[in-house]
Amino acid sequence: MSKLVKRIEKEFFLKILYDEQLPVTYYKDRAEYTLFLKAIPKDTMVFKTNRPIDGLTVSSKVSLMFSYRGDSMLFDADVTDMRDGEIVCKIPESIRKNLDRSHMRVKLPPEVHISISFLNDRYSLPFPRLRDYYPVEGTLSTLSSLKDQVEKTVRDNDYGYKLVIFNKKDEISSPEERVLAHTGKTLFLPEVKNGFPKEDPYNRNRIVTEDVFNRYLLENMGIEGRAADAISTRFFQEKTNRGIASDAWIPILFQEYTVGYIRVWLRDEKKLPLDFMVIDTLHKYAEVMAQVLKQKGYFDQMKVNPPPFRATVRDISVSGLLFTCPVPDISLKLMIGCDLKVTIATLRRSLDIKATITRNYREKTSTYMGCQFKDMSAEDIRYLFECIYAKPFTDTKVPY
C-alpha cells in the first residue's frame, strides 16, 4: 500500500534525483516526457526536459513519477517558471512511495469523456449519518443457521435478548441507542463494573472504548472534562441499579446509517460474562439482518437513485482515477468503500467499469475521491492503456 514519506526521507529522495540523475516521467495529452533534475535551490526545483512540453504554463500542477530501487514514487509540483528546455517547480509538499498503481496517472485526453454514477442503490434515511460506509453484500443463506445459533446461545446462557429496528429518528432515545446511531460501533461491556474497554481488539475499530465515548460526548453534545466523567459515571450506575452485569449492543449497519441493533445482556454476576465469540456471532447476524431488511423493501421509500452526477476528473491511470464532485448532497455519499459505475466514452468505443472509492482528501475548497477500477477484462485494460497513454500496451500483469 502506498504511503507518504516523512520530511527527511523526502529530502533524501530529492537529493537522489539530482545526485544519480534519475529520469522523471511526466505525461500530458497522451505524450510522455522525461525530465532530469538540474538544480535544487532552497524552495524550487529546476528540471531539464528532453523536449518542449506543449501546453504547459506557469501555475500548472504537474504529477511526476520516478523509480528508486524497485519502488515507484509520485509527487505533485506547481510550475513557477519556464525557460528554454527547463521548467521550475516548487518543492513538493509530499512524496508518495510504494504506489498501489504501476502506471502513471495523467490528465484526461480531450477526446475522452467520463460519467460517474453510483453502482448500487443509495438511500437517504432519517438517521444520523456515519463517517464510514458499510456495503450490504452477500446472500441470506446463513440466516437460518445464525438465527438458530443466536437463539441457542441466548437460551443456554440465560441471556436477555432484544432486536430493535428504527423507524424514525425520534425513536433513538436511550443513551446507548444514541451512541450506536452516531458512531456505528458496538457497545460491549463484558463486565459493567469495569467500565468501558480501554482498547479495541478489532482491527476495524468496532468497539466503543472510553476514548470513543468521550469523543462522542464532545462532538455531539459539546461535553468534555468533568462533565463527561459525570455522565459516564451515571451511565454505569444506572446499569448497576438495573442489575446488568454484562451488556452488549451490536448495531445493524446499512450503508452510512445505523438502522437498528441487537442487544444481549446478563444479570447474574456469578455466570461467565459475554465474550468475543458471542459478539462475533452477533456481528454476523447483524450483517445478515441488514440484508433481510433491504430484501424485504424496508428502505425502498427512502431510495435515491440519481443519474450520473457532476464530476470533474483530475487525473486517470489504467488502475483508477481521481475526481471531485461539486454537488454537496452527492459528495457526502461518496465514502470510502462505495462502489461506482464509471463510463469512459472514447471515439471508438465506451467502457463501463466498476470502481471502488479507496481514499479521499480535502484540498482547498474541494474534496477529492480516489477510485480503483475493479474486475476489468484484459481487453478493456489494453484498450484503456493505449487510449490514455497513446502507445502499445506491453505489461503482462494487471496494473493494480
The stretches of 222-305 forming alpha helices (DSSP H) are: 225-241, 276-295
Residue 395 has pLDDT above 90, yes or no: no
Burial class of 174 by CB neighbour count within 10 A (0 to 12, 13 to 18, 19+): exposed
Contact 75, 94 (CB under 8 A): yes
The predicted structure's pLDDT at residue 203: 67
Q: For a pLDDT cut of 90, what percent of the chain falls above it?
A: 56
Q: Look up residue 188 and give its three cell numbers.
A: 460491549
Residue 139 scores a pLDDT above 70: no
Residue 33's nearest CA partner among 58, 64, 73, 71 is 64
Record: fold of 143-301: Beta-Lactamase (3.30.450)
Backbone angles phi, psi at 303, to 5 degrees: -75, 135
Give the relative orientation of helices 143-157 and 276-295 as an angle to the nearest 10 degrees: 140
Environment class of 292 (CB within 10 Å of its CB; exposed 0-12, middle 13-18, buried 19+): middle
Distance CA 357, CA 375 (A): 14
> Which is nearest to 311 in space by CA: 366, 255, 361, 381?
366
| Neighbouring C-beta atoms of residue 287, cutoff 10 Å | 19
> DSSP assignment, residue 45?
E
Percent of residues in the chain assigned helix, strand, coil, to nearest 5:
30, 35, 40
User: For 211-232, how does the pLDDT look when each residue is reduced to its tens digit (9 = 90+)?
Assistant: 999 999 989 889 888 999 999 9
* pTM score: 0.75
Residue 103's pLDDT band, with cuts at 50, 70 and 90, is: low
148 secondary structure, DSSP code: H
d(CA 207, CA 196): 9
Domains 3-97 and 143-301 equal at CATH topology level: no
Q: Dump pLDDT digits (tens) for 105-116.
A: 788 888 899 999
Q: How confident is the model over 43-96, as pLDDT tens digits?
A: 899 999 988 888 888 988 888 989 888 778 888 899 999 988 899 999 998 888
DSSP class per residue in 150-190: HHHHHHHHT-EEEEEE--SGGG--SHHHHHHHHH--BEEES
Domain 3-97 part of CATH 3.40.50.2300: no
Q: Which of 364, 294, 306 is CA-nearest to residue 331?
A: 306
Q: Report helix, strand or coil for 103.
A: coil
Over 60: is that where the pLDDT of 327 sits? Answer: yes
Strand, helix or coil for residue 298: coil
Q: Which three cell numbers stand for residue 321?
A: 482515477
Cα–Cα distance measured from residue 73 to residue 77, given in angstroms and rounded to the nearest whole number: 13
Measure the CA–CA gap between 139 and 284, rounded to whole angstroms.
12
**How many other CB atoms are found less than 10 A from the CB of residue 215?**
16
Joined together, the cell numbers standing for residue 322 give 481521481
DSSP assignment, residue 261?
A: E
Question: Strand, coil or helix: what is 223?
Answer: coil
The mean predicted confidence, pLDDT, of the chain is: 88
Q: How many CB atoms lie within 10 A of CB 259?
A: 24
Contact 189, 198 (CB under 8 A): no
Distance from C-alpha of 121 to C-alpha of 304, rounded to nearest angstrom: 7
Q: With 60 as the cut, is the pLDDT of residue 399 above it? A: no
Task: Find the range with the poorest average confidence among 18-22, 72-76, 102-106, 190-194.
Answer: 102-106
In the chain, where do the E strands start and end? 3-4, 24-28, 31-39, 44-49, 61-68, 71-83, 86-90, 96-97, 113-118, 122-123, 160-165, 187-189, 246-254, 257-266, 303-304, 312-317, 320-324, 339-345, 350-363, 366-374
pLDDT, position 193? 93
CA 400, CA 397: separation in Å to the nearest integer? 9
Backbone φ and ψ of 257, nearest 5°: -135, 150
**Which residues make Cβ contacts (< 8 Å) with residue 171, sequence separation at least 6?**
177
Residue spans of the domains in the chain: they are: 3-97, 113-121+305-389, 143-301
Q: Domain 113-121+305-389 carries which CATH code? A: 2.40.10.220
- The C-alpha angle with vertex 274 and arms to 268 and 279, in degrees rounded to 5, equals 150
